[in-house]
Structure 1
Amino acid sequence: MQDRTPDGPVRELLASVLEALNIPHPATIGDTEQHDRVLNERVMHARIALVGVLERGDDPAWTTAYLRERLAEHPPTGYRHHGTPPPPSCGKCRKPFDPADTRFDGRARHGETPWCRRCVDSCHESTDAFHACPICDPTRRGGEGR
């Protein structure tokens, strides 16, 4: 039985098509939209490359280089990949920290604490005599006992 594995330019073209299609799965449903957007762009360019070689007779080596350039323009980024840990989040509101939001009541981490600036700000502004939260009274309501 003879080996039917393609060689040379055709093999390289097939490898680049596989690279276009074989991107990491999204980590959550919220990441699906960006994953699908990236995958659709990559599929479109792979299809153009295959049609060029199979129907128009384009040079496979040139088409492979073209496809790899287009794939570099659409890397599988902008979404969390399956298996990546979730970003650090506030111990009170559970929303991810946003280091770029440095307002006094923003979503950045408050110093080295496990809370965001917004939760610390709202805790310190509380006028409720019975106010108890993990920030001001760490021994109550799920705090860490800091």
Structure 2
Amino acid sequence: MYQQDLAAAKVAISERRGVWTTVVLAGQGGFSALCITDDSFHLFGKSMIGSVGRPAVGAPLAPRELRASALGTGTMDAGNISLAAGEAGSAVVGMTYKSKTQGEVAATVSMGRFALWLPGEELRNASSEGMEVQVKYDDGTTGTLKLSL
């Protein structure tokens, strides 16, 4: 269904932390693909968390906004992982989350996308309850936003 979108997409985020690897692709019209896997299988294999598609929300993203497309906790062979990922407005250059268990966790923000993850189940209810993040903007100012689905 998304073969042409995947072929034209560019890598927005590609990171490895310990056994975890996260890749986010970005394409035209808000297209995005996300894959998180541990070392038990290859990317896009049997042991992964992921999504692919376009946002259901049609309104353009304001420069200082974030829009989550993935928010919560998943489980793979390496254990539980908490994740927040989605679209970042053009003025957003950084984002952090104050974790109760891990301290300050920095997200990667690139090509209009963001991805933040940490071990454990801390974000288990974030899709319904939301989560606060600190955002840094391109003019040097900061603010607090609440992510939810």
TM-score for both structures, normalised by structure 2: 0.21
TM-score for both structures, normalised by structure 1: 0.21
Which protein is richer in helix relative to its size?
Answer: 1
Please tell me whether Structure 1 or Structure 2 has the larger radius of gyration of its CA atoms.
Answer: 1
